[in-house]
Each structure stands twice: as C-alpha cells, then as structure tokens.
Chain A
Amino acid sequence: MKDTANPLQLELPGLKMKNPIMPASGCFAFGKEYGALYDLYMLGAIVLKAATREARFGNPTPRVAETPSGMLNAIGLQNPGVDAIIREELPRLSALNTPIIANIAGTTVEDYVATASRLSDTNIVSALELNISCPNVKEGGIQFGTDPRIAATLTEKVKTVSKVPVYVKLSPNVTDIVAMAKAVEAAGADGLSMINTLLGMRIDLKTMKPILANKTGGLSGPAIKPVAIRMIYEVSQAVTIPIIGMGGIQSADDVIEFMLAGASAVAIGTANFIDPLICPKIIETLPEKLAAYGVKHISELIGRSWKS
C-alpha cells in the first residue's frame, strides 16, 4: 500500500489519502469558499460541516469570541439539512477525487440513523463522522458524547445502516475519554476523531454578561493542543482503530506531534480562519520536515511517542 514515492500517502478505513491533512468539520463549510482559493484535490480528505436531518439555523449571534490562543464558537450546527446537502453540495464534491467524510449530528438516535443512511447511500461519501460531541446544541448532542453506553448504542445503530466506515468524534468534556473510545470501538466504530471543542465561556466586562449569545461555546485553537495530544496519546494505546487527530494544529510540526502521539491522520480547524491557505502550506512543508527528522514515510510517526 505504501508508495515510497509519496512519503505522505496513507490509507485509513474508507479513505485512500494523498496525505494525512484534512480540514476539520465546521471549519470548511462544504468546501466552496476554500475551493475558490486553492485546488481541493491536494487535500488528503475533506470533512464536511455537520449535516442534520432537517435544516438548522443555529444560534443567535455573537457566535464567536476570541480567547488567549484560541476561540470560542457556538454556531449551533447551522446547515441546510441532509437532503439539501446531498442535492446542492455533494455533486460538486464528487468530481474532486478526494475522499469526502460526511459529519452527522442529531438530537435523537433516529435522526442520526436517518441522516447516516441518506449520506452513506450516495456513493459520494467515503466515510461518516458521527458528531456525538457538539457542545452547542441544547438537545441531545453532548449527551451522546458523555455516556459510554449511549455512545455505543448510537454507534451500533448507525453501523447497521451505513455502507461506509464510521468514525466517531469524541468529546474532551468527559471524565474518562479512554472509556468512551473503548465503548464505541466495541460497538463497531471504524475509527475515532478527537478532540472536539472544550466547553468554555467568556464574559464581557462592559455588559457584564456572557459574550456569546449561547452563553457557552466550544474552545478551539492552539490553546487546546496539549489537551488533544494527551488524550490521543492515552486513547491510541487503548484501542486498535485509527485516530484522526485535531485540536489547534497550525503547522507541519504540529501534525508530526499529533502523529507521534498516536494519530493516523489529522484535521485542521481554527487555523483555516487565520490563514485560509494553511492546509496546502502544511502539505507542502511536511516532506521536508519529515526529511529533517529522518523519517522516510509519515506512517512511521504514528504512536512513536509510546511505542517501544
């Protein structure tokens, strides 16, 4: 499988990737905006903004607030609904020849199953990512991501309808993320994505009220990177399924660090907002970084921080 000519090429369940770099769900919409700036073909994969069964407007504004080395967001899973996504977004993406991962959110098990079934039937989507960890929706969402039994049941149900591999996106807002990871692995998950955002809040000193209309939001950006590294380091030793790592990555060095911790691929989120060309820049820089560290193929990095 390894192509020695391309030291970045990787294969994960459902995903034949030119490199380990993909934009993270919710930070790239459905690719149109960034596709106007560069050729999306160069990406390892593309993770779409979360799809729900029905259209969602999301939360009132302000939806974002800056924090030291990070940002809070409470978008609230705004999306046009799974049918509109299939009709209006997927045809354009199918021509890219880059694996597409559809992120799915819901408030009930039935929602998830219906949305997963619709998307996996399209033949355009290479894998599903179950968002069981969005902190910004009041109903459901986070509950699926904090109780190992509920997460396992949901994973099982989605697996029964999905024709493509299922990655489960884990929340860091739990006491024991290893227990969550093991539960969804046992339930049939083909891979994990981690970490989603950390629940946070900022308060405006002038109004003396929370800045975000939703009051709380998800913390992302370099501020959460060490938390992500630690969690991936722990989980990757406890499961055998691959991990797509994310949380504050903004350079090729960060990618290498995530993979050393145990990630098999990575997703870039908030950094896209700071530099819209960050994904191609990292992809371009990675080969020389690997060479500098004496690494012949990127897969050699996976879990090397704990492998003897």
Chain B
Amino acid sequence: MLVTLNREIAKQIYEMRLSGNLVEEIRAPGQFVHLQPGYHCGTLLRRPFSIASVDEAQRELTLIYRAEGAGTKKMAEIPVGADVDVLGPLGNGFPLDACKPSEKALLVGGGVGVAPLFELSKQLKRKGVKVTHVFGFSDKSVMYYEEAFRTLGPTYLATVDGSAGTKGFVTDLIQSIEPEYDAMFACGPMPMLRALETYAEDKPVYLSLEERMGCGIGACYACVLHTADDPDGASYRKVCTDGPVFKVGEVVLG
C-alpha cells in the first residue's frame, strides 16, 4: 500500500495513512492489518495493527502506532510515497449489531488501544447509536484524537499521572460517571481488559485483544488462547482469525 501520511501526533504516537485496494475488503471496525515495517536484519516479521479509520472514497486506511520497538521505530521513518507491504484486512471486528439504533454504547480504550475505537465510534454513530468514550492514557503527552472523538459523543479521559482528565484508570472513571450503556466495546492493555471483564455480568462486553503473532492468518498457532469453558483443556481460539475481538466469556485472557 502507498503511504500518504506518516506523522507524529503525540509523543512517540504516530498516525500512518495507507492507500490501496485492500481498503475495499474491510468489513468491520476492529479488523487489523499485518504490516512489514521494512525488511532488514532487525525486523523479520510483520506487525499487527488495528485499523483506526477507513476512508472508502479515498481508498485509505489509518493506523495508529507507538514507535517503541525496532519495527515501529523503523516504521516512523517511512516517507510519504513509499510502498509498504501490508497483508489484510485480517480478523473479525467489533459486532456493530450488538447495539440497535438509539441504544447506547460505551467505548473504553487505553493508550494505542484507543485507535480501533475511532472507526467503531464513527460507524455506531452513523447507525444512530449513542456513543460514550472513556479513555485512559499514561499521561497527557501521549493522548491523541481527543477532539475527533468529542465530535462523535461525550468523551471522558483519565491519565495515570493526572496530567489530563481524571487521575487514575478508566475503571475509576466508569465508577464515577456511571454511564448507561447497552454494550461495551474495549481495546487496550491486558490489565485494563481484565478489569473490564467484571462488567460483563450486566451487559455484553467485547474486547479487542493483542497478542504476539507470527503469520496473522491462523497457521502458526502463536496467538492462541484457552476457551473459557475449557480453561485447562485443548480447545482454543486464535486471536488472529477467531478474534481479535472476543465477547467476554469466550476466552481466558492471557
């Protein structure tokens, strides 16, 4: 795919826009692509990134990534106009039909995990669903897309150090604002997702999971989780092809 934008939008947080035919095959928010950041001796494998937004008219998709490891640091240096090897769209996204029009959705995100919730929020809103956002970041410097999310619905922020929004975690925010919702959709670090599992007793909760991947297409069995109904047995789900979005109660979080 052709890189049409690659810029830092917060500290170490980059937005990359890619153009190509692959965009036409995207079926649901929450799907991901497997990107080869540049084939050299440090980075052999592809990297999975959730699709943050889709522009069908421009045939473009947007990824948000944190330039932290060898591969993502290399990605940050890719110039506009470069051709990038992208496999996808892969996996299954968030189920839009979990909310009927005029129902309420709560979108909970942490860090770069906020990214796929942007396209989800846009599509839910387009459908007539009332969307509330609750996002957590480590600190103000790594926050992004705040204004864009505010145009879609009420947006509450928490930072671990209190430099923006409420000091604390998204679970603290949810407890204080007590939002009404018919379904929860979340993506973020594993401790956050584990904490959100407890909310599934009342309403359906859908979590987008991250796991180290090899192939991204279901062949290598790197990203495998136990199923919740057989936690010690041989039954399993693959994050890449069965996920990355799972309803709470389907898998045991790693």
Chain A residues engaging chain B, CB cutoff 8 angstroms: 26-29, 32-34, 37, 49, 55-58, 60-71, 73, 75, 78, 80-81, 221-222, 270, 272-276
Contact = CB atoms under 8 A, between A and B. Distances in A.
A64 B44 contact: no
Contact of B45 (A60, A62, A66): A66
B119 interface: no
8 contacts: A27-B219, A29-B220, A33-B219, A37-B217, A55-B234, A61-B254, A64-B213, A273-B216
Nearest to A84: B234
A71 B219 contact: no
A63 B222 contact: yes
A79 to B, nearest CB: 9
Interface residues of B, number: 34
A222 B221 contact: no
B41 interface: yes
A33 B41 contact: no
B46 A274 contact: yes
Contacts of B71: 66
Contacts of B217: 33-34, 37, 276
Contacts of B225: 61
B212 interface: yes
Interface string B227-254: 0000001111000010000000000001
A222 B44 CA distance: 9
Given A69-B41, A273-B46, A64 B224 contact: no
Contacts of B43: 66
A58 B254 contact: no
B87 interface: yes
For chain B, what secondary structure do more than half of its interface residues adopt (helix, strand, loop), or is it mixed?
loop
B174 to A, nearest CB: 27
Given A56-B234, A64-B220, A66-B43, A273 B215 contact: yes
Contacts of A60: 254
Interface string B85-101: 10100000000000000
B214 interface: yes
A81 B39 CA distance: 36
A273 B214 CA distance: 6
B224 A221 contact: no
Contacts of A274: 36, 39, 44-46
B223 interface: yes
B223 A61 contact: yes
B42 A58 contact: no
Contacts of B46: 273-274
A61 B215 contact: no
A63 B236 contact: no
B211 interface: yes
A55 B234 CA distance: 6
B165 to A, nearest CB: 25
Nearest to A222: B44
Interface in B35-84: 36, 39, 41-46, 70-71
A69 B44 contact: yes
Given A56-B234, A57-B233, A63 B212 contact: yes
B2 to A, nearest CB: 19
Contacts of B233: 55, 57
Interface string B169-182: 00000000000000
B221 A272 contact: no
Nearest to B41: A69
Given A64-B213, A66-B45, 6 more contacts: A27-B220, A62-B211, A64-B222, A273-B215, A273-B219, A274-B46
Given A274-B44, A276-B215, A29 B36 contact: no
Nearest to B217: A33
B236 A78 contact: yes
A64 B236 contact: no
B234 A57 contact: yes
Nearest to A68: B41
B7 interface: no
B218 interface: yes
B226 interface: yes
A230 B34 CA distance: 33
Given A33-B215, A69-B41, A63 B234 contact: no
B41 A71 contact: no
A221 B44 contact: yes
Contact of B212 (A28, A62, A80, A276): A62
A33 B218 contact: yes
A203 to B, nearest CB: 15
Contacts of A222: 44
A57 B222 contact: no
Contact of B214 (A73, A81, A275): A73
Contacts of B211: 61-62
B236 A273 contact: no
A98 to B, nearest CB: 17
Contact of B219 (A29, A65, A70, A275): A29
A33 B222 CA distance: 14
B254 A80 contact: no
